[in-house]
């Protein structure tokens, strides 16, 4: 089972034309490269402390329990969805949870934030997630981090 959510689509290179993106279904499986790109953001002229504080605030606003901020930001898992599947005589409940590891490292005149989600179903790690879910989840996190930074 993979997390499912409606979201925007992402383009990928088509073999027909190197300049025309091909539409992807939100239910396409996200690649490791896509997850890394969605989870990475550079903040020029910001200190590590500023971005760490903004990321911690963002996670709390989104309902996560921040366990530690050193040496990296880590959250406890947050239940994000529950699905019940009815059988002939029983039902099975699937609970989907997400936790985050976020590294903030010096990078030139600023810092780079790298966020990695850890998704599970009934406590078992998920080996893949949909790109639609990834875009929505990373987008919400990055929007909250940006909104939590003090104006310059």
DSSP SS3 for 134:
helix
Q: How many helices (H) and strands (E) does the chain have?
A: 3, 9
State what percent of residues in the chain have pLDDT above 70: 85
Predicted pLDDT of residue 131: 94
Predicted pLDDT of residue 7: 31
2 occurs within a structural domain: no
Q: Give the mean pLDDT of the chain.
A: 87
Question: Is 30 within 8 Å of 131 (Cβ atoms)?
Answer: yes
Angle at 35 between CA 30 and CA 38, to 5 degrees: 120
Euclidean distance between CA atoms 144 and 138, whole angstroms: 10
Q: What tens digit of pLDDT does each residue of 36-50 get? A: 999 999 999 999 999
For residue 79, give the nearest of 62, 96, 64, 92 by alpha carbon: 96
82 occurs within a structural domain: yes
pLDDT at 21 over 60: no
Q: What tens digit of pLDDT does each residue of 96-133 get? A: 999 999 999 999 999 999 999 999 999 999 989 999 99
* CB-CB neighbours of 48 under 10 Å: 16
Euclidean distance between CA atoms 138 and 121, whole angstroms: 19
Top pLDDT among 119 and 21 is at 119
Instruction: Give the residue numbers spanning the domain of 42.
Output: 11-148
pLDDT at 24 over 60: yes
pLDDT at 19 over 60: no
1 occurs within a structural domain: no
70 occurs within a structural domain: yes
Predicted pLDDT of residue 22: 63
User: At 88, phi and psi to the nearest 5?
Assistant: -65, -40
Q: What tens digit of pLDDT does each residue of 87-96 get? A: 899 999 999 9
Domain of 17, CATH number, reads: 3.30.530.50
Question: Is 120 within 8 Å of 96 (Cβ atoms)?
Answer: yes
Number of domains in the chain: 1
């Amino acid at each position: 089972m993979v997390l499912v959510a409606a979201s925007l689509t992402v383009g990928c290179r088509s073999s027909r034309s190197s300049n025309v993106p091909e539409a992807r279904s939100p239910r396409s499986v996200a690649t490791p490269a896509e997850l890394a790109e969605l989870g990475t953001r550079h903040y020029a002229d910001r200190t590590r402390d500023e971005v760490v504080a903004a990321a911690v605030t963002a996670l709390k606003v989104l309902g996560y329990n921040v366990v530690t901020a050193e040496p990296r930001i880590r959250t406890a898992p947050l239940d994000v969805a529950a699905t019940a599947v009815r059988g002939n005589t029983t039902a099975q409940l699937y609970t989907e949870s997400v936790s985050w590891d976020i590294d903030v490292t010096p990078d030139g005149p600023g810092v780079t934030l790298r966020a990695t989600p850890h998704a599970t179903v009934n406590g078992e790690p998920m080996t893949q997630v949909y790109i639609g879910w990834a875009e929505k989840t990373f987008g919400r996190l990055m929007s909250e981090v940006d909104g939590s930074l003090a104006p310059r």
